[in-house]
Structures are given as C-alpha cells and as structure tokens.
Amino acid sequence: MRYWLLAAWIALAGVGPASAQLSFGFSSGGVSIGINVPVYPHLVRIPGYPVYYAPGLPTNYFFYEGLYWVFQNGLWYESPWYNGPWTLVPPDAVPLYVLRVPVRYYRHPPPFFHGWAVNAPPRWDEHWGHDWAEHHRDWNHWDRHHVPAPAPLPSYQRHYSGEHYPRTEAQAREHEQRNYHYQPHDTVVREHYEHHEPPAPQTHDHSHDHSHDHSHDHEQH
C-alpha cells in the first residue's frame, strides 16, 4: 500500500491533515482548490493514450482508469466523482499514464512548464528531483503499439448536478455501485480504489464463546 506514504508526504509538504480531502465546489467539509465544475464535463480521449482530458475547463483535468485527476497549484488530486471531494495524491502515487500526458493537454499549465516541449510530457523527473527519478527511471518509456484500452466514462454522473450531486461518500458510493462496474487494471489505481472502499464490517467470532458454553455444560453434568 502506498497510502502510508501520504501522511508523511503531506507533513513534508506542509499540508495539514484537514486538507487531505479537497473539493472544487461545495462538498462535505472540503477545502476548495479554486475551481468549480458544476456539471459533468465534456471529456475527450487523448490520441494514443488511455487518458481523457477536459478541453472546456480552465484547469488541468483528466480521467483515467475510472478516476478523475487534477493538477492544481503544483499538486495532484483524484476523485471518483467529477466535482470531488478530492484526495491529495503524493508524486509516487500518480499513475504513469497520467504523468505521460503531453504538455499541450494541460489547459492551465503552471509557470515551471514554460519552455518545455508541448508534444512531450512534463519533466517530472526534473521537477520532483533525484529520488523520484531514481524510483521511476522508465516512467516515460512504454510500448506505444500496445497501449491499454481506456476505461469507459462514468457518463451516468451527468444526471447528478446541483442539488442532486451526492453530498456524502455513502451517497456517491451507492450511485457508483449501481451504475459503474469497471475494475481498473492499473495497479496504482487499484490502490486508490481500495482507499475509497468503506472498511469491512467487523464480525464477532462466537466460536470461542460456544466452546466455553459447552465446557461449562459438561462441568455441570
């Protein structure tokens, strides 16, 4: 699991725990990251990549493997819903195909993108430094003739906007389970899905109790 790294990375980045869940617009106690997506956005497949982007939004907004990904103010966020709430993602937990998206598909590129080739991905190895580069040496090398198929878009979400947008995780999860059954193939994204899954209910093991009861009955006889 990569999520044990998140707390440490948040601390190093100076982001408080309350900011781990973020939102574009209204949300359940989230902190705004400055952009609102009031309706389901128009998403376009990036040629040659299993990733979509939103050309009509003034932000760096993508969809990959069943989740939405946003690069805002130098940080990555993800969410299973188009308008959040958003989860802060450390650099090691951003899927490689998202990082490989060329600069030209960033609708609001940050200043440090200046001068970088528009048909190549951002220079994440330079931006995140030596340690990240050492752990991701081949991040920008893959078989371009065998790119995985993109995940289906969760277009059912277009029916949920305004007052109908889910206001709790339970509501959002209920809609997802009813309408969207895609299972991601990307290992990193599967870990994000596990993060969104509710904890399994705890069950009490009564075997010990029954054993104790039978032993007690035997002693009485």
Per-residue pLDDT, 196: 81
Q: What is the mean pLDDT of residues 71-97?
A: 94
Please say if the pLDDT value at position 99 is more than 70: yes
Question: Would 63 be classed as within a structural domain?
Answer: yes
In angstroms, the CA 140 to CA 200 distance is: 37
Are the CB atoms for 20 and 10 separated by under 8 Å?
A: yes
DSSP 114-176: TTS-TTS---HHHHH-HHHHHHTTTTT---TTSPPPPPPP-GGGGG--GGGS--SHHHHHHHH
> Hunting for tokens 């997802």 — which residue is that?
176
Contact status, residue 38 vs residue 162, Cβ threshold 8 Å: yes
User: What pLDDT is stored for residue 209 in this prediction?
Assistant: 52
> Is the predicted pLDDT of residue 8 greater than 80, yes or no?
no
Q: Are 146 and 7 in contact (CB under 8 A)?
A: no
Residue 94 lies in a domain: yes
Closest CA to 97 of 73, 128, 63: 63
145 lies in which domain range? 4-199
| Residue 220 within any structural domain of the chain | no
pLDDT band at 163 (very low <50, low <70, confident <90, very high): very high
Residue 79 placed within a domain: yes
Say what percent of the chain tops pLDDT 90. Answer: 69
Cβ neighbours around 102 below 10 Å, total: 17
pLDDT per residue over 178-217, tens digit each? 999 999 999 999 999 888 876 555 655 555 555 444 444 4
How many structural domains compose the chain?
Answer: 1
Nearest alpha carbon to residue 43 among 34, 28, 53: 53
What integer best gives the mean pLDDT of the chain?
82
End-to-end CA gap in the chain = 53
Strand order through the sheet with 67-72: 31-32, 21-23, 86-89, 75-79, 67-72, 60-64, 52-53, 44-45
Residue 22 has pLDDT above 70, yes or no: no
Q: In this structure, is residue 95 part of a structural domain? A: yes
Question: Does 214 reside within a domain?
Answer: no
- Between 139 and 205, whose confidence is greater? 139
Whether 212 maps to a domain, the answer reads no
* 118 Cβ contact list (under 8 Å, min separation 6): 102, 103, 104
Give the pLDDT band of residue 16 (cuts 50, 70, 90). very low
- Hey, how many other C-beta atoms are within 10 angstroms of the C-beta on 173? 15
The residue among 96 and 216 whose pLDDT is bigger is 96
The pTM for the full model equals 0.79
